[in-house]
Amino acid sequence: MCGILAVLGCSDCQAKRVRVLELSRRLKHRGPDWSGLYQHGDCYLAHQRLAIIDPASGDQPLYNEDKKIVVTVNGEIYNHEVLRKHLPNHKFWTGSDCDVIAHLYEEYGENFVDMLDGMFSFVLLDTRDNSFLAARDAIGITSLYIGWGLDGSIWISSELKGLNDECEHFEVFPPGHLYSSKTGGLRRWYNPPWFSESIPSTPYDPLVLRRAFEDAVTKRLMTDVPFGVLLSGGLDSSLVASITARHLADTKAAKQWGAQLHSFCVGLEGSPDLKAAKEVADYLGTVHHEFHFTVQDGIDAIEDVIYHIETYDVTTIRASTPMFLMSRKIKSLGVKMVISGEGSDEIFGGYLYFHKAPNKEEFHQETCRKIKALHQYDCLRANKSTSAWGVEARVPFLDKEFINVAMSIDPEWKMIKLEQGHMEKWILRRAFDDEEHPYLPKHILYRQKEQFSDGVGYSWIDGLKAHAEEHVTDKMMLNAAHIFLHNTPTTKEAYYYRMIFERFFPQNSANVTVPGGASVACSTAKAVEWDSSWSENLDPSGRAAIGVHNLAYGEQKPMSVANGNSMSKIVDGITLGVTAPELSIQS
């Protein structure tokens, strides 16, 4: 991930240059490899580069042939080689994947954005008429903010810290949107069929789903630097690792860096993820790197995490801290890019609260709501936890084409039906249940969902709550509504994070960039209505899904395992875990 900062239409231009350089340096952690700054009249484009593709010549800002169109970009364009073939009369200055953007604009105007297959945020300046265009990728994998100065200037930055001190008002730049100075406002360029939340009816075809995800993973093996996979041992990261290991040998990356895949996992000593990840790594034959941290290590890092992640959302901070610590270790090994498993639970209804979805319509609409909100939660975590140390995270489950395939399936197939052997994400599990050429061991393929903040070790969350209890008094909680008018914290843990956040980002605009509302086990506020008991147990941990999670709060007993494929326990009248169905799909 790179860092971009644009100041458009500012006053006192010469004096502003020093300030723009200063603010751009706040983003240097995102791109430690090179810095660039372009000025044209009252406009500045700044860039902090993390070199992944064409490290030798891809420095930014980037230009078209006559350098009249200038662009600063954060992201990766996976189809850049195909797009270059659509531009035969254009001369490219570099081999960077992002070099196509200026030329596409020159050829097609503002409507080219939907042609891009990748994750990106960019600002493009057309010096011919002093107009500009800014855009963010479909789901919001890359972070982006927009702000307005009192002098009439518009500011666009990869992170809040690049603009919060200079803007009278700022907000999240919405995913799937572009801002055009010609029209003076935002408009949505990403308009997939699922966005309307109408109920799809395409029958489930496991091979179509499998091929779509394999394509999503393999296109993300495009790299000129060492890379690896984040492996928690859960279904999503294990599938990413398995597919990557299968296809790595045929890639340019393998010729440069070797065909043996590196995998990375983090957790407290003895945590569920460490054990499961080691088993998957051994099965796949990866070079596995296991990082341990203590509860105190995590607590000591909380302030740095909140500064970098730029949120006070409880579940995001819980999950970001281990990822933040792991990313530092990964960078120390010389790795600059990782592939990760975010997005699957939103697309397939993998969170444990989906067990209580009353019907397929509610199920599907909740997945739509979850995908639309990803940029405020898991995308934010994955992007900023890794970017804090100059590492890029790629997320194949959020591939545009894969989402289209997965979200067109009749949601009746996604419904959790334990009596039929259909646990959460059953259609994804079945798609990769290949008896002849197994992707994963059966018990990993059918492992119950663990949220990242739980899987790294249950005592992590318990330790955070205990720490907050020591620093936030009952008296402070009584006055919380008078101090924090927006998203008033309702727990001491939330209050503790909010105090730290407001110290770094005191503006009212900053408060509003963070989502709020009731949630249980990562649900939206709407889904809390599915079970009346949940309103009394609002906690984002998966263990809050009482009657669903194998180690739910108040039900923390070991889960019985009858054999390698069978996982079952009865809690509150619900059978948890299932026997892996005897299903096979031949390639």
Tens-place pLDDT, residues 129-144: 999 999 999 999 999 9
In whole angstroms, give the CA distance from residue 48 to residue 73. Answer: 10
What pLDDT score does 23 carry?
Answer: 97
Length of the chain: 587
Backbone φ/ψ region at 426: left (φ over 0), alpha (ψ -120 to 50), beta = alpha
Interior CA angle at 123 toward 82 and 113, to 5°?
40
Confidence of residue 103 (pLDDT cuts 50, 70, 90): very high
Region 408-427: what's the mean pLDDT?
Answer: 96
pLDDT score recorded for residue 457: 62
Q: For residues 231 and 285, is the Cβ–Cβ distance under 8 A? A: no
What integer best gives the mean pLDDT of the chain?
A: 90
Annotation-wise, does 341 bind a ligand? yes
**Out of 2, 98, 167, 379, which one is annotated catalytic?**
2
CA distance 304 to 388: 9
Which pairs from 488-491 meet CB under 8 Å and 24+ separation?
A: 489/312, 490/538, 491/314, 491/465
Could you tell me the pLDDT band of residue 236, with boundaries at 50, 70 and 90?
very high
Task: Give the single-character DSSP code of 566.
Answer: B
Mean pLDDT value across residues 13-39: 93
Q: How far apart are CA 285 and CA 188, in angstroms?
A: 44
How high is the pLDDT of residue 549? 58
pLDDT digits (tens, 9 = 90+) for 184-229: 899 999 999 999 999 999 999 999 999 999 999 999 999 999 999 9
**Tens digits of residue pLDDT in 315-346:** 999 999 999 999 999 999 999 999 999 999 99
Question: What is the Cα–Cα distance from 360 to 410, expressed in whole angstroms?
Answer: 8
Give the predicted TM-score (pTM) of the model.
0.92
Residue 552: the pLDDT is 56
Residue 11 confidence (pLDDT): 84
Terminal Cα-to-Cα distance of the chain (whole angstroms): 35
- Is the pLDDT at 128 greater than 50? The verdict is yes
Judged against a pLDDT cut of 50, whether residue 57 lies above it is answered with yes
pLDDT band per the 50, 70, 90 thresholds, residue 25: very high
Ranges assigned E (strand) in 137-260: 145-148, 154-157, 169-172, 177-180, 185-188, 227-230
Return the minimum-mean-pLDDT range out of 197-201, 219-223, 251-255, 575-579: 575-579
Q: Which two tokens stand for residue 355?
A: 């067990």
Average pLDDT of 281-289?
A: 97
Find where tokens 């026997």 sit. Answer: 579
Catalytic, 43? Answer: no
Distances (CA, A) of 494 to 324, 426, 452, 509: 19, 34, 18, 19
Q: Is 97 flagged in the annotation as binding? A: yes
pLDDT above 90 covers what percent of the chain?
Answer: 80
